[in-house]
Amino acid sequence: MKIRLRERLFAYETRTIPRIATILDPRFKKQGFLAQSNSEEAAKALQEELNSVMTTTPRPQPAPPTEEPTRFSFLKTKMETTVQSLRADSIILLRQHLEKGNQPEKCDPLAYWEMSTDEPFKKISKKFLCIPASSCESERLFSKAGQMISDRRTRLSPSVVDKLLFLNKNKNINKIKI
């Protein structure tokens, strides 16, 4: 069974979305892969994703100096004028993530990244970890729509069907007290 499981799941390691989702998961990181080459490819894909997220996020501009010059003001101006590379920043963020210890098995990856202070990882985790694992929910919705729209109910407008499906799907939600 163990061998058969490896054969069936190995193909998923070569796909980009499962790679990034696995390496983003704080419980697994690089240890979640069967092949070392797949973990390296996942790290490269995550680095590219970090780089693209960081290019769309505006960087804070340093405030103009309002203080009197001090002994070490030359050092402060030198640090402010250094060239900052988004690629280098994404490499550093990725290394920091991979060098942190793995979280316990009970850890929820979405909750972990929601509490994190790393904004690029928050955006990427929302993008890759929120993908449903199966199509069961959509199949249930289509099935329910098929039950609602029968030969005797062909005059229902699409907006009414949407509202009926919404109400049916959310009927078990507890009432909110205002």
Task: Give the pair of three-digit tokens for residue 17.
Answer: 């979305």
Domain range enclosing 7 = 1-57+83-130
Claim to verify: residue 123 and residue 147 sit in the same structural domain: no
Asked whether 85 and 159 are in contact (CB, 8 A), the reply is no
Q: What is the pLDDT along the chain (178 residues), one digit of tens a residue?
A: 888 877 777 787 888 888 898 899 999 888 888 888 888 999 999 999 999 988 876 665 555 555 666 777 777 777 666 657 788 888 899 999 999 999 999 998 888 998 988 889 999 998 888 877 677 888 888 888 888 888 888 888 889 989 998 888 888 777 655 5
pLDDT at 67: 60
What secondary structure letter does DSSP report for 151?
G
pLDDT at 62: 55
Give percent helix, percent strand, percent coil of the chain, each to the nearest 5: 65, 0, 35
User: What span, in angstroms and rounded, lies between the C-alpha atoms of 80 and 84?
Assistant: 9
Specify the pTM: 0.61
Q: Is residue 71 part of a domain?
A: no
Claim to verify: residue 90 and residue 7 sit in the same structural domain: yes
pLDDT at 129: 85
pLDDT at 163: 92
Claim to verify: residue 94 and residue 159 sit in the same structural domain: no
Number of neighbouring beta carbons within 10 Å of residue 90: 21
